[in-house]
Amino acid sequence: MKEFIEFIAKQLVDSPENVVLEETTPDEKTIELTLRAGNGEVGKVIGKQGKTALAMRTLLTAVAAKGGKRARLIILD
């Protein structure tokens, strides 16, 4: 899951080396992914009216549900 979201985010920004994705597990059935992008590139990951971020969250939720887990994507500035 982590690699999947990281791949998508790196394709959206101009400098993919600044994309950092951290994975934490608050409990055994939940996965939290925290995404950080370089200066001024968070908007490219979020997209117009948040549609790109919503699509990434939808895909993440579908992949996690297939494994019987819940997932959250947090995008930080």
- Taking only the tens place, the pLDDT of each residue in 3-52 is 999 999 999 999 999 999 999 999 999 999 999 998 889 999 999 999 99
Q: What range does the domain containing 36 cover?
A: 2-76
% of the chain surpassing 70 pLDDT? 100
pLDDT of residue 38: 87
Q: How many domains does the chain have?
A: 1
Instruction: State the CATH number of the domain containing residue 17.
Output: 3.30.300.20
Q: Could you tell me whether strands 70-76 and 30-36 are parallel, antiparallel, or unpaired per DSSP bridges?
A: parallel
Contact between 59 and 4 under an 8 Å Cβ cutoff? The reply is yes
